[in-house]
Protein backbone atom coordinates (compact mmCIF):
# COMPACT_ATOMS: atom_id res chain seq x y z
CA UNK A 1 0.00 0.00 0.00
CA UNK A 2 1.17 3.48 -0.82
CA UNK A 3 1.25 6.36 1.64
CA UNK A 4 0.29 10.03 1.56
CA UNK A 5 2.91 12.06 -0.31
CA UNK A 6 4.00 9.18 -2.58
CA UNK A 7 4.26 9.80 -6.31
CA UNK A 8 2.71 7.05 -8.41
CA UNK A 9 1.83 6.24 -11.98
CA UNK A 10 -1.94 5.77 -12.16
CA UNK A 11 -3.12 4.06 -15.35
CA UNK A 12 -3.35 6.41 -18.30
CA UNK A 13 -3.45 9.43 -15.96
CA UNK A 14 0.31 9.31 -15.59
CA UNK A 15 2.19 10.75 -12.65
CA UNK A 16 0.09 11.57 -9.60
CA UNK A 17 0.68 12.48 -5.97
CA UNK A 18 -1.27 10.73 -3.23
CA UNK A 19 -2.97 13.46 -1.20
CA UNK A 20 -5.15 11.37 1.09
CA UNK A 21 -6.07 7.77 1.89
CA UNK A 22 -9.40 6.91 3.44
CA UNK A 23 -13.13 6.70 2.90
CA UNK A 24 -14.78 9.27 0.66
CA UNK A 25 -16.96 11.67 2.56
CA UNK A 26 -20.12 13.20 1.15
CA UNK A 27 -20.33 10.77 -1.75
CA UNK A 28 -22.77 7.91 -2.24
CA UNK A 29 -20.27 5.14 -1.56
CA UNK A 30 -19.85 2.70 1.28
CA UNK A 31 -18.16 4.48 4.20
CA UNK A 32 -15.77 1.63 4.95
CA UNK A 33 -14.17 1.40 1.50
CA UNK A 34 -10.70 3.00 1.31
CA UNK A 35 -9.70 5.29 -1.57
CA UNK A 36 -6.56 7.05 -2.70
CA UNK A 37 -7.20 10.70 -3.41
CA UNK A 38 -4.70 11.55 -6.13
CA UNK A 39 -3.75 14.79 -7.83
CA UNK A 40 -2.33 14.49 -11.32
CA UNK A 41 1.06 16.19 -11.52
CA UNK A 42 0.56 18.05 -14.78
CA UNK A 43 -3.17 18.67 -15.22
CA UNK A 44 -3.90 19.04 -11.48
CA UNK A 45 -7.07 16.95 -11.68
CA UNK A 46 -8.31 14.95 -8.71
CA UNK A 47 -8.79 11.20 -8.99
CA UNK A 48 -10.39 8.86 -6.48
CA UNK A 49 -9.10 5.32 -6.83
CA UNK A 50 -10.08 2.36 -4.63
CA UNK A 51 -7.08 1.15 -2.64
CA UNK A 52 -7.88 -2.48 -3.45
CA UNK A 53 -8.73 -2.08 -7.16
CA UNK A 54 -6.89 -4.49 -9.44
CA UNK A 55 -8.42 -2.81 -12.52
CA UNK A 56 -6.11 0.19 -12.75
CA UNK A 57 -2.35 -0.10 -13.00
CA UNK A 58 -0.79 1.80 -10.13
CA UNK A 59 2.92 1.70 -9.39
CA UNK A 60 5.50 3.93 -7.76
CA UNK A 61 7.39 6.32 -10.03
CA UNK A 62 10.94 5.30 -10.81
CA UNK A 63 13.55 6.11 -8.21
CA UNK A 64 16.34 8.46 -9.26
CA UNK A 65 18.71 5.47 -9.68
CA UNK A 66 16.14 3.58 -11.77
CA UNK A 67 15.58 6.66 -13.94
CA UNK A 68 19.33 7.12 -14.48
CA UNK A 69 19.68 3.42 -15.35
CA UNK A 70 16.80 3.62 -17.86
CA UNK A 71 18.35 6.66 -19.52
CA UNK A 72 21.74 4.94 -19.75
CA UNK A 73 20.06 1.93 -21.45
CA UNK A 74 17.83 3.84 -23.90
CA UNK A 75 20.17 3.34 -26.86
CA UNK A 76 19.98 -0.44 -26.30
CA UNK A 77 16.17 -0.63 -26.15
CA UNK A 78 14.67 -1.92 -29.40
CA UNK A 79 11.62 -0.40 -31.08
CA UNK A 80 8.50 -2.45 -31.69
CA UNK A 81 9.56 -3.38 -35.20
CA UNK A 82 7.30 -3.54 -38.22
CA UNK A 83 3.60 -3.56 -37.40
CA UNK A 84 0.93 -3.91 -40.06
CA UNK A 85 -1.12 -0.73 -40.48
CA UNK A 86 -4.40 -2.26 -39.32
CA UNK A 87 -2.87 -3.36 -36.00
CA UNK A 88 -0.64 -0.38 -35.26
CA UNK A 89 -2.98 1.63 -33.03
CA UNK A 90 -4.04 -1.45 -31.05
CA UNK A 91 -0.39 -2.38 -30.59
CA UNK A 92 0.36 1.11 -29.23
CA UNK A 93 -2.62 0.85 -26.83
CA UNK A 94 -1.47 -2.58 -25.65
CA UNK A 95 2.05 -1.31 -24.99
CA UNK A 96 0.69 1.68 -23.04
CA UNK A 97 -1.25 -0.66 -20.76
CA UNK A 98 1.97 -2.22 -19.45
CA UNK A 99 2.89 1.04 -17.72
CA UNK A 100 6.59 0.37 -18.25
CA UNK A 101 8.97 3.16 -19.18
CA UNK A 102 10.95 0.82 -21.41
CA UNK A 103 7.77 0.24 -23.43
CA UNK A 104 7.25 4.00 -23.78
CA UNK A 105 10.79 4.22 -25.16
CA UNK A 106 9.93 1.41 -27.59
CA UNK A 107 6.91 3.37 -28.86
CA UNK A 108 8.96 6.56 -29.23
CA UNK A 109 11.67 4.74 -31.19
CA UNK A 110 9.14 2.99 -33.41
CA UNK A 111 7.28 6.18 -34.28
CA UNK A 112 10.52 8.13 -34.76
CA UNK A 113 11.68 5.51 -37.28
CA UNK A 114 8.29 5.54 -39.04
CA UNK A 115 8.48 9.34 -39.30
CA UNK A 116 11.88 9.12 -40.98
CA UNK A 117 10.66 6.47 -43.42
CA UNK A 118 7.48 8.36 -44.29
CA UNK A 119 9.31 11.66 -44.78
CA UNK A 120 11.87 9.94 -47.02
CA UNK A 121 8.96 8.59 -49.09
CA UNK A 122 7.43 12.08 -49.33
CA UNK A 123 4.60 11.28 -46.92
CA UNK A 124 3.40 13.03 -43.77
CA UNK A 125 3.38 11.50 -40.30
CA UNK A 126 0.01 9.97 -39.45
CA UNK A 127 -2.21 11.67 -36.87
CA UNK A 128 -2.31 8.42 -34.91
CA UNK A 129 1.50 8.31 -34.73
CA UNK A 130 1.59 11.96 -33.65
CA UNK A 131 -1.00 11.31 -30.93
CA UNK A 132 0.81 8.28 -29.49
CA UNK A 133 4.23 9.94 -29.78
CA UNK A 134 2.97 12.90 -27.70
CA UNK A 135 1.32 10.60 -25.16
CA UNK A 136 4.51 8.52 -24.81
CA UNK A 137 6.67 11.63 -24.47
CA UNK A 138 4.38 13.18 -21.87
CA UNK A 139 4.27 9.96 -19.85
CA UNK A 140 7.98 9.18 -20.05
CA UNK A 141 9.34 12.67 -19.47
CA UNK A 142 6.68 13.37 -16.83
CA UNK A 143 7.81 10.41 -14.79
CA UNK A 144 11.51 11.07 -15.33
CA UNK A 145 11.00 14.70 -14.30
CA UNK A 146 9.61 13.64 -10.93
CA UNK A 147 12.29 10.99 -10.44
CA UNK A 148 15.10 13.40 -11.28
CA UNK A 149 13.63 16.55 -9.67
CA UNK A 150 13.28 18.44 -12.95
CA UNK A 151 10.59 19.89 -15.19
CA UNK A 152 9.38 17.76 -18.12
CA UNK A 153 11.29 19.95 -20.57
CA UNK A 154 14.46 19.68 -18.50
CA UNK A 155 14.04 15.90 -18.30
CA UNK A 156 13.63 15.68 -22.08
CA UNK A 157 16.70 17.86 -22.67
CA UNK A 158 18.69 15.78 -20.18
CA UNK A 159 17.71 12.52 -21.91
CA UNK A 160 18.53 13.91 -25.36
CA UNK A 161 21.94 15.19 -24.23
CA UNK A 162 22.69 11.86 -22.54
CA UNK A 163 21.72 9.63 -25.47
CA UNK A 164 23.14 12.03 -28.11
CA UNK A 165 26.20 13.59 -26.43
CA UNK A 166 27.51 14.78 -29.80
CA UNK A 167 24.32 16.76 -30.40
CA UNK A 168 23.11 14.66 -33.34
Q: 55 with 137, same domain? A: no
- Counting DSSP H helices and E strands in the chain, the numbers are 5, 5
Position 1 in a domain: no
pLDDT in tens, 19-34: 999 988 766 556 678 9
Taking a C-beta distance cutoff of 8 angstroms, is the pair 139, 14 a contact?
A: yes
- Clarify whether residues 82 and 158 are in a common domain: yes
CATH number of the domain at 158, please. 1.20.58.1290
Same domain, 71 and 52: no
DSSP letter, residue 50: E
Q: Does residue 2 belong to any structural domain of this protein?
A: no
Per-residue pLDDT tens over the stretch 133-145 = 999 999 999 999 9
Contacts of 25 (CB under 8 A, 6+ apart): none
Q: pTM surpassing 0.75?
A: yes
Choose the final residue of a domain: 17, 41, 59: 59
- Domain housing 77: 61-163
Strands 46-50 and 58-60: unpaired
Amino acid sequence: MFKVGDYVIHGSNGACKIEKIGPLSGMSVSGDKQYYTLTTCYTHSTIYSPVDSPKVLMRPVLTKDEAERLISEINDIEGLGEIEDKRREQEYKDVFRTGKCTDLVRILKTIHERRKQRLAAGKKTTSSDEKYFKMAEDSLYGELAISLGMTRDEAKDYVMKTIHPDGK
